[in-house]
Amino acid sequence: MIEFLQICVGGLVVGSIYALIALGFSLIYRVTGAVSLAQGGFSVLGALIGYTLSQTYGWPLFLAIPVAVLATVAIGAGLGAISFVPALERLSNANVLMLTVGLLTAIEGLCLVVWGSQPYALPPFSGESPARIGPLLVPTQAFWVVAAAAAVIAGLWVLITRTRLGRALRACAENPTAASLMGIGVKRMTLLSFGLATLIAAIAGVVVAPTTTLQFDTGRLLTISGFIAVVIGGITSFPGAVAGGLLLGLTTQLATAYVSTLFSNAIALLILLFVLVWRPNGLIQAKVAGRADVREGGRVHGHVARLQPNVAWIAVTVALAVALAVPLLVTSNGIMSGITIAMILFITLIGLDVLMGYTGQVSLGQAGFMAIGGYTSGYLTIVHDVAPVLSILAGMALSLGCALVLSMVTLRLRGLYLALATLAFGLLVDSFAVGFVDITGGPSGMVGIPSFSVGGYEFASPRAMYYLVLGINVVLLASFFGAMNSGFGRALRAIRTDQTAAAALGINIVRYKLVAFAISALLASLSGSLYAFFFNFLSPDMVGTNRSLELVSMLVIGGEGTLVGPLFGSLLITLLPTVFQPFALYKTLLSGGLLVVCFLYLPQGLYGALAERLARLSLGRPARAGGAELIRSTPR
Amino acid sequence: MNAPSSPSPAAGLPPVLSVRGLEKTFGGLKATSNVSFDVADGAVTALIGPNGAGKTTVFNLITNLFKPDAGEVIFLGENLKGLPPTRIAGRGLIRTFQSARVFPAMTVLENALAGRHRLVRHNGLPQMLWTRAARAEERALRERAEAMLDLVGLAGDAGRHALDLPMGAQKLLEVVRALMAQPRLLCLDEPAAGLNDTETEELAALLRAVRESGIPVLVVEHNMSLVMNVADHVVVLEAGKVIAEGPPARIQANPRVIEAYLGREADAAA
């Protein structure tokens, strides 16, 4: 019983942190209709600044902590003003969500550059010795955490319900157009909500820092937990966010204690998937109507210039010649490996482009399918001595199965819920990869995976693997170009931009979404298998959530909805750290920053910008006349 | 209150579409009550009425965007009850929307091509494999789409981004897209709303060409001169009820219709 209570206290502390992060989500969502995933990043940033001020410069805590919080808010508001606020006017909500993924990555990259990758812990605010309440031992920091959460909740409640400013915020939340007509500066309110959310996140960061260790990428765990909490609780309601946070904290702590440390994440994620299926709006729903689609119209998608056939054929010939010559020109083995890795990842990206770029379905868990493919191939070839080709097919079959099961959840979801469900899927696969030590080798990875071989020929060197993957890529590109530039691709793009109008033309939305999802899963699985064969090794963090988010960056930086574009993103992000060693440290910062910049200023990506230049080289052509005949006649 | 059994202006053919006793209530508000009418084959039927009469609601009930509380819709002898919009479109009942809903990420030509979706035979795998049949079909489709765009004067804009077109051109494009689907019945929701006089004239010409081709049309419209110009049969809706129907000339003279449109005092003043 005492043990149970002790665990509950722990759960309450963790839950308070989740609740704080969740409150930030809910606040921004209610005011802007968009979600910012940067929350957890600001928590870590605040804690690390606090560490430097108090431990390196020796400031007393009572001074260091508030200054750290204020500094974080200043940085957060600055970043918000140049990225999040302008993005709201230009991008769809799903893309704003992706942009904040870039923001989160950039903040992590910044922390990596400044603080390195080692873990940090602040000293407890009021001494190490725990307080004794009856038979329970409670660390004093727990009181700080709970008190901070209570103070923030109370403060927010007063602000929202009792002040003029709060009324203006609520007006923006319910009807931004009307609010702006009433003289409320919607932009300023957006920035204010972003700054407030940063404040909440920073407070959460500094109070939690003494109870655990933080490093540059702990932020994404906090973000994910807060996101899960807010969806379980109901994103449109503050009490929902708090309840969701506490529930999640208690559940994970109890699961860790009584079930298994390794699967506590899995349990949280399964709860989330159930909530998404049974109560997609969360357990507690606000009385105000949701506003998800208020600003959706008009900003859905820019278009990408298409090349005229003659230009396109020349470009294809040149590209193919260059691709064939690359292994002859590149002498460094490191760079050759980098190029091969980029090409292997490109297989996943083609599928992701079909899913995201063409069909408009967000996926933050694509690496999960890479993991399924990679581990299945590795396990079958090592333990059962199965031929690599067959092991790849087995992985693809398993991925397809998982995709079909997952699509029972995802087909009903859109926008941020879809993003969250796919994220949860990736994390679930990740926690199984870590947890099933006997099969996957656990956190230290699976060793001894053979190289890919067919009929006795072994693709052992990067060059051999390069030509194999190049062949696969060419076949995939050729077939998807065929499909995407004709009826199949048009149906997908119709669904992306207007589902109602697409249905009114007889386009079966469910079927096409399912096919696009299946294609992306199959290709990711294939790519994951090849990835494992290439490294002769696979560990959970090679195909974890970091990878999923990196894939999204590559896709957007290269150019969505272009098929070939993502190769540019893949090459850029994979090769820069290899070619220029100092970049290794800056890689995270760079890929996050590039993602934000591309979303804001280069929505068609690197390739899209290039294609637009090329397209100007060619002209349109005129057409002929007809009449009633034409309308009536059926071809053939 | 029931509609006359056969209003058919085109000789004796069974109606393409029969609407029988449609009822829909939103909150306590009766949007349509016992709406019944027929759409004759090969003719243009217009559904008119003052603002808020429930015209668009009737449209959305026909295409099952809303579920009716009572009543049924028979299309080519088949009850559409419970069929999702996709399946209804698959049967050849193609509709447009009040606010033009062109696909924003596509060019004008691609929008027109997308309309053909339900009739494309070599979809998906054959296109991935670049089969001869798939390529031939795509080529034929392109020629047809270009010719159709030419018909409404949009051929020069084929390569433009659809959202860059002026509103009137977007509405024409939406009609072209619907026609590409080779509808068995074409339903247009206020096609002339937002169009200027020249564009409305182009639309009228297009509608006459459609009728000439034998495709029946059901059109919801505010613009009376357009309705009187192209319609064979007019159904008048007021406050969710059918108050009159008949050929345009008779409707124009019907005192109840005049009253519904102009109000009693206005009528007296005029």
Question: For residue range A87-132, what is the model confidence (pLDDT) as tens digits?
Answer: 888 887 778 888 998 999 999 999 999 998 888 888 888 877 788 8
**How many secondary structure helices (H) and strands (E) does chain A include?**
27, 6
- Alpha-carbon dihedral sign for residues B156, B162, B164, B168: positive
pLDDT tops 90 at residue B136: no
Q: Does B153 touch chain A (CB under 8 A)?
A: no
pLDDT in tens, A311-341: 788 888 999 999 999 888 888 888 899 999 9
Q: Which residues contact B205 (CB under 8 A, 6 or more apart)?
A: none
- Of B84, B114, B209, Cβ closest to residue A628: B209
Least confident window among A12-26, A258-272, A380-394: A258-272
Q: Which residues contact A505 (CB under 8 A, 6 or more apart)?
A: A494, B89, B94, B114, B115, B117, B118, B177, B178, B181
Using a pLDDT cut of 90, give the percent of chain A over it.
35
- Of A306, A502, A630, Cβ closest to residue B147: A630
Whether residue B103 contacts residue A494, with contact meaning beta carbons closer than 8 Å, is answered with yes
pLDDT tops 70 at residue B102: yes
**How many secondary structure helices (H) and strands (E) does chain B include?**
11, 10
Q: Which residues contact A401 (CB under 8 A, 6 or more apart)?
A: none
CA distance A434 to A442: 4
pLDDT in tens, A435-456: 888 888 888 899 989 999 998 8
Beta bridge partners of B93: B185
Averaged over A516-529, what is the pLDDT? 96
pTM over 0.80, yes/no: yes
**Taking CA atoms, what residue in B is nearest to A497?**
B103
Q: What is the pLDDT of residue B205?
A: 86
Averaged over B105-109, what is the pLDDT? 86
Q: Does B133 touch chain A (CB under 8 A)?
A: no
Cβ distance of A628 and B213 shorter than 8 Å: yes
Confidence of residue B269 (pLDDT cuts 50, 70, 90): very low
CATH classification for the domain delimited by A308-632, as one of 3.30.1490, 1.10.3470, 1.10.10, 1.10.287: 1.10.3470
Interfacial B residues in 16-35 facing A (CB < 8 Å): none
Classify B219 as helix, strand or coil.
strand
CA distance A56 to A379: 47
Q: Where in chain A is the domain with CATH 1.10.3470?
A: 2-117+139-278, 308-632
Confidence of residue B262 (pLDDT cuts 50, 70, 90): low
Classify A136 as helix, strand or coil.
strand
Least confident window among B5-19, B71-85, B216-230: B5-19
Cβ distance of B124 and A561 shorter than 8 Å: no
Q: Does B170 touch chain A (CB under 8 A)?
A: no
- Of A497, A504, A631, Cβ closest to residue B63: A504
CA distance A107 to A101: 10
Q: CB A166: neighbour CB atoms within 10 A? A: 15
Averaged over A67-81, what is the pLDDT? 95
Cβ distance of A635 and B147 shorter than 8 Å: no
Least confident window among A413-427, A620-634, B44-58: A620-634
Amino acid in position B231: A
Q: What is the pLDDT of residue A75?
A: 95
Cβ distance of B148 and A630 shorter than 8 Å: yes
Interfacial B residues in 172-191 facing A (CB < 8 Å): 177-179, 181-182
Q: Does B72 touch chain A (CB under 8 A)?
A: no
**Taking CA atoms, what residue in A is nearest to B112?**
A490
Q: What is the pLDDT of residue B264?
A: 53
What integer best gives the mean pLDDT of chain A?
85
pLDDT in tens, A547-575: 998 898 899 888 888 889 899 999 988 88
Cβ distance of A625 and B151 shorter than 8 Å: yes
**Taking CA atoms, what residue in B is nearest to A620?**
B159
CATH number of A2-117+139-278: 1.10.3470
Cβ distance of B104 and A301 shorter than 8 Å: yes
CA distance A170 to A33: 12
The two structure tokens encoding residue A201: 């996140």
Averaged over B199-226, what is the pLDDT? 87
Nearest chain A Cα distance for residue B66, angstroms: 12
**What strands lie across the sheet with B78-79, from one edge to the other?**
B29-39, B17-26, B70-75, B78-79
Chain B residues with CB-CB distance to A562 below 8 A: none
Q: Does B262 touch chain A (CB under 8 A)?
A: no
Chain A residues with CB-CB distance to B137 below 8 A: 635
Confidence of residue A69 (pLDDT cuts 50, 70, 90): very high
Using a pLDDT cut of 70, give the percent of chain B over it.
92
**Taking CA atoms, what residue in A is nearest to B187?**
A504
ipTM: 0.85
Nearest chain B Cα distance for residue A497, angstroms: 6
**Taking CA atoms, what residue in A is nearest to B131?**
A482
Cβ distance of A504 and B151 shorter than 8 Å: no
**Interface with B, mutate which of A493, A505, A510, A629 (most B CBs under 10 A):** A505
Classify A133 as helix, strand or coil.
strand
